[in-house]
Amino acid sequence: MIEEENLQALIHSGEGYNVEFKVRVPSKVRELTEEICAFANADGGYLLIGVDDSGQVIGTNLENDKRSAIQGSISEISPALHCDMYAVNIENTTVWVIDVPSGKDKPYIFSGSIFVREGANSQKLRTAEEMRSFFQECNKIFFDAIPCLKFNIYSDVDEQNFRDFRRESKLSPETSDKQIFENLMLFNEKGIAKNGAAMFFGKHPENMFPHVVVRCILFKGTTKVYIIDDKSFGGPLYQQYVQAMAWLESKLQVAYKIEGPGQREEIWEIPLTVFKEAIINALSHRDYYEEGATITIEMFDDRVEVSNPGGLLPIVAKNFGHKSMARNPLIFGLFTRMLLVERVASGIPRMQEAMKDANLPEPEFRTDGMFTVIFKRQIKNYATNDIVNDIVNDIVNENEQAIINLLRTKPGLNASEIAENISKSWRTTMRYLKSLNEKGVIEFRGAPKTGGYYLK
């Protein structure tokens, strides 16, 4: 039974993969049972009645007839599932908790259908093919749910990464780390942290899982003959995403459109949003059982390819672009909490729409063995008056772009520090800084000896 303090922390954490809020019992009790069935088919969870979608405690009374109706509906789940239902007093009112275990006899079926949890939502598998695929998947343990004996979350967590997670997830500062770990169900029933916890929050998960890295490669031309740059990024999964995006930004061309004093619009040759979708998708849905391959981002003169091990699951392949099923539900749920996953199965349409809006070809998808998304490059001359007014001179070159990317993450560096970071001489770096200053992209602030450079 969850205590009041723990329940408050759970509510502050918000809805997610393991938590669902309901203001009251719906008129059709089966709607609750569908959520319960979905939790049982995943890692379990808490269904809280008396809390609205924003996390405000409204409170509710659950009379005997309603409790009986809920229990009667739960009894229709097959195989039999036992859930605890109890009231907790909080903020001078009552919240009812339905505590759903992770079922040991998956899959669980309600009214002839299987319900599964995807992020903060529950979905119904509607066809025999979908159900058959789910039965097959139930014979495998999700990789991110396997106990990780080498990982102690209390001593091995990357503290800065966890602070980033707290911030992006809008978690209350009053909630302890320990309570958040428990609310996110990062442990198994024996109290051992799961693989997903180690990969998402550990300092160096690649030491335990060498294949859990993102490799970024820049090729000369359109073939894989000449490699110009090759970097692999490890660390917590969110930091792998951040570093991969920074690498892409350092290689892609960008122009700046000036609308007026102090107003500047970045025009990327390929919209950055498509790479955000593709990389988060790769980190969430790759087959981590496959140890012989890594997530790769490969850039050629004419295209960029993002690949991850593992083709589409049968359910997803049949409804590609419209239905999603997580290979790693714990990891997917953590990215969802950080608001990096907006809606289930919406990533593909958003990538297609973003490329269309940029007047670029729609992304291509290859799904045999590896899942690969291909974005075509269309290098434009942005230094023309019909795109950028005469306040902007031209596109910054690669070294200037490296300085811009550096100052995004480390504002206030002086010229010597910038030179060291981009591996150029001080004199050459000063030439780039002068060019960027004249273009209105950066400015120097502070005293000559102690000041530094900032993006405008």
Q: What is the pLDDT of residue 311?
A: 66
| Token pair for 345 | 């199965």
Q: What is the pLDDT of residue 262?
A: 58
Rounded CA gap, 376 and 53, in Å?
A: 40
Q: What is the pLDDT of residue 303?
A: 94
pTM of the model: 0.62
Of residues 90, 4, 6, 3, the one with CA closest to residue 50: 90
Of residues 193, 375, 184, 176, the one with CA closest to residue 272: 375
Rounded CA gap, 116 and 41, in Å?
A: 6
The phi and psi torsions of 260 (rounded to 5 degrees) equal -175, -175
* Bridge partners for 46 per DSSP: 19, 99
Q: What is the pLDDT of residue 132?
A: 62
Neighbour-count burial for 256-278, b at 16+ CB within 10 Å, e otherwise: bebeeeeebeebbbbbebbbbbb
Q: What is the pLDDT of residue 12?
A: 81
DSSP reduced 3-state for 343: coil
Rounded CA gap, 195 and 331, in Å?
A: 10
Residue spans of the chain under pLDDT 70 = 119, 127-140, 258-264, 311-325, 342-346, 379-396
* Secondary-structure percent of the chain, ordered helix, strand, coil, rounded to 5: 35, 25, 40
Domains of the chain: 4-137 (3.30.950.30), 214-310+330-376 (3.30.565.60), 398-455 (1.10.10.10)
Give start and end residues of each alpha helix (H) in 220-319. 237-251, 272-285, 314-318
Q: Are strands 113-118 and 121-125 parallel, antiparallel or unpaired?
A: antiparallel
Rounded CA gap, 9 and 255, in Å?
A: 45
Q: What is the pLDDT of residue 263?
A: 63
